[in-house]
Structure 1
Amino acid sequence: MVNSDSPTTPLDSPLARKNPLTMENFHKFEKASNGTTDSMTAPSATISSTSFNSASLECASKETSTIQNETLKKRRNSAGHKKDYNQTLFENIDYLGCSKLNDPSNEPEMLDLMRVLDEQRMTSAVTVSLAVPHSARGFVVLRDTTGIELTSFPVQRIRFCVRGRLDSAQKHCFSISFTHHGINGEQTHQCHVFRSAQPEMAGRALYCFSQAFSNSGKENMSDNEKRIDYKFEAYLEIRENEGSQSSPHWVLCPQQNNTLKLRRDRQKRLIVQLKQVQLCKVFGPPLTVTKCFGMLLAAGRNLRHSDMQLLELESMGPGANPSVYVINAIWDPRIHVFDVLNTETPRDSRVFLTVAADVIIAEAGEPIRFRLEAKARVFHRDERFYKLPRVALREGYSLTLEV
C-alpha cells in the first residue's frame, strides 16, 4: 500500500512489487475483486482551475446501490450493463499502469504515482482508446488498438481525477482513482494513469469527466433526447387550364383508383400546401417556412436531383390559414423534357411523376425538401371526366431538428 505520509514511492506498494505495472495487472486486479460488491456513487465534480494547472475534480462518494462483480468477459457482455454511447473518444492514449492507494482523494499521492509511471512508460505503456460518456450513469470503456474492449466501468465508480502539473514533464498525463468494497466491508483503492499525445488532450479528458459527473441524466440517454420531432403534411393539387391563355380557368384534375387523370397539351398549375401537424404535446412548437426557392418535376420515382426539372414559380406565402404555406408553380407539359408526361398512355398503363418543393425553414440550418410521388394516366386533350373525385394528393412527413 502506498502511504502518503512516508517518503516511499508508489512503486513500493505490495501490488507494484509483486507485479509490473501493465494492462495485464489491470485485469488481474479486477479479477481479484471477483465476488465483491461495488459502491455506486453519485459524484459531484468541481475543477480547481480553469487552466487545469494541477487541476483536479473530486467526487463526493456515498453508497447508493451494489452490483455483483463478474469476470471482465461477463461484465462486458452482461445485459444488465447497458452502456451509454453518448461519449467522447480519446484515441492513442498510453495506459501507464495502476497501483493501490491509501486515500483515493489524495492528489499528491496520485501525482507522485503519475510521475513514477511516466518515467517508466517506455517499458510498460499500452496504447488504448478511452471513451468517456456524457452522463454520470454511463460507462467508461477502454479498447486496444484493434478495437477490442479491454474493460469498462461505471463513471459513478470514479472517486477522483487529477492532471499532471503544467510546469512538469507530466503535463500530458492524467489519472483516475476508484474505491472497491469487498465482501467483508474492506475498501480497496486503486489509481490508473494515462498519458496523452498532447497536453491539451489531458485537459480535455479531465473536462469530459467533469461534465459526465455533473450530468445525472436518464440511463441509456440517446441522441433522440437532444432532438425535437415535427410532423408535416403536404398537399398537391394539379390544375389544368380549360380556358384560354388570356382568360385561364383552372380545374382540379380528378383521381380514380389513386391515379391522376391528366390531359395532354394543357397548361397546368401545381399547388403545394405545407402544413405542420400538432398531433400531441411531444412534438415541437410551430416552425416558420420563410421561402420556397424551387419547385421541381420529373417523370418517374426514386429520382436523383439531377433528374428533376425546375418549374416557374408563380407565387408563395402563407395561405388564408397562417399555419399553411402555399406554393404555386406553372407547368407547360409541351416542353420536350416532359414528353413522357405529355404522351397518351395505353389503357392499362400508368406513368409515375415526382414533385419536389425546396423550402427554407427559419429554425432549420439547411434547406428542406418535401417530395411527393404519384401515378397518372394521360388522356387526349379534349377528354371529359364525369363524376370523378377531385381531391388533392396528401403525403405525411417527419422532421427532426437537433437542438
Structure 2
Amino acid sequence: MEDTVSRSSLDSSSTGDEYVVVNGEPKLRITGDIRDINDEILDRMASSSTLTSTDSLNKEPENDFNEHPAIQSSQSVNELSSKLQQKNAARERSVSLPATSLEETDTVFNGVTYLGCALVNAPRSEVEIYRNMAILNEQTQMVIPIILSVPNTSIGNIRLIDPTNDSEIANYKIHRILFCARGPNESNEKKCFAFTCSHGDSADNAIFQCHVFRCEIQEAVGKILYCFATTFRKVPKEMKESKIMLDEEFVSTFSVSLEFKEDDGKNNLTTCPKDKNIFKFRSNYEKKIVINVSQTGDTELMIERCFGLLISPGRNVKHADMQLIEMKSMGYTDGKNYLVSGSWDPTEECFLVLNTETAKDTRVFLTVAVDLVIHGIQEPVRFAIETKAKIFPMTERFWNFTKRPHQELFHINLKQVGLLI
C-alpha cells in the first residue's frame, strides 16, 4: 500500500529483518477551508488550554469495545442501522450500558448524524472524498443520530455512540485514519465532514472507506476537526514515545524537521523564513535542504544510511514525480539526531512552479521526502513532508519572520518477527 508518509522503495533494502512495517503509519491530513481551525490551534497552543465541546461534554469512565467491521457500500447506513436495532434489542434483554460508560478523557460532541460510508480507491483524494460527501448528504434516505466521542491521545478510538442508551455503534482506530475533509462553506455540504480510514490486518488485504457525518450547526465542524488534529499530536505521558505496544505490534515515533537555506549572493547561506507555516523563497537562488530525523525513548532504531533526498512541486505526489537532488552530507551529529542535507537548484525546468513569483495571497505546495534504511526494518522507509511556499523576487527583503524549521511527527507501525541483534 502506497503511503505519502512512509512507503517502501524498490531501490534499496536494509540489512536487518527483525521488523516489518504493518499497514503504513498514521498521518492525518485535513482539507477544505481550515483557516478557523488553524486560528484555533494557534490560540490554543498559545494559551495551553484544553479543548471542550460547546454542545456537551458528558465525561465517563472507560468501556470495552470491539473493532467495527468494514461496511462495503455507500448505502451501508441501512445495514449499520439494522445492526444497531439488533444490538439494542439484545441489550434490552440483558443489561443496558450505564450513562457513565464514556471515557473521562474523551471529548464528546452531540448533534452529529452519521450519513454512511463508501469504499474508495484513493483515500487521500480530495475529489473522491468530496464526491462521496455530496452523494451521501443528498441521497441517503436513512441516517443515524450519534454522539461522537474523540479520544484526547493518538492511542485510542473514534467512537460512535447511540444517544438513546449510550451503547457503542462503531469505532475507528486513530492510527488508521488517513484523511479528513470538511464541506465547502458555500455548498450543501457546509455542515458535513468526512474521514477516510483503512480496514484490514495488513497492506495486502487493506480496504479504504470514506465515512461521512453531518452536524446540526456549521461551527461544530471546525471544532471537531480541530479536536482530530490535536488528538493526532498527543501521545500518552505514561507510555514511551518510541515504543507503544498495540496488541502484537508497536509504534515507533520519529520527529522530522525541515528547513531551507538560501544563497544570499555573497557565498553565505541564510535560513529561509516562514510566515504562518508558509516558507518564503527568493527566486533564482540555489537552496540547501536540511532534514533532521530523531527518535526518543530508551530503545532506538538506528538509521543506517540515507539513499535519497527528493523534492517535487505539489502535494499527494506520486513516487515517479519526485525529483532526486544531490546529497551533500548524512550522518548522526550527536548520537540521536540524524542530519541529511542536499543542494537544490530551483532554476531547473521541472521546478518552474517553485521558482515563479506567486501572486498576492497565493502560495504553492511542495513535497520533500527522505528515504532511509533503518536497522531492523526489512524495507526502506520514506518520510514525506508536504508544505507550502511563497515565491518572491530576488531583491525581496524579509523582516521579523520566524526561522524555526518545519516539524512533523511520523509513526511507523511495526511487528517484531525475530530477535533484535
Q: Same fold, TM exceeding 0.5? A: no
Flag the structure with larger Rg: 1
Structure of greater relative contact order (alpha carbons < 8 Å, 6+ residues apart): 2
Instruction: Name the TM-score, length of structure 1 as normaliser.
Output: 0.42
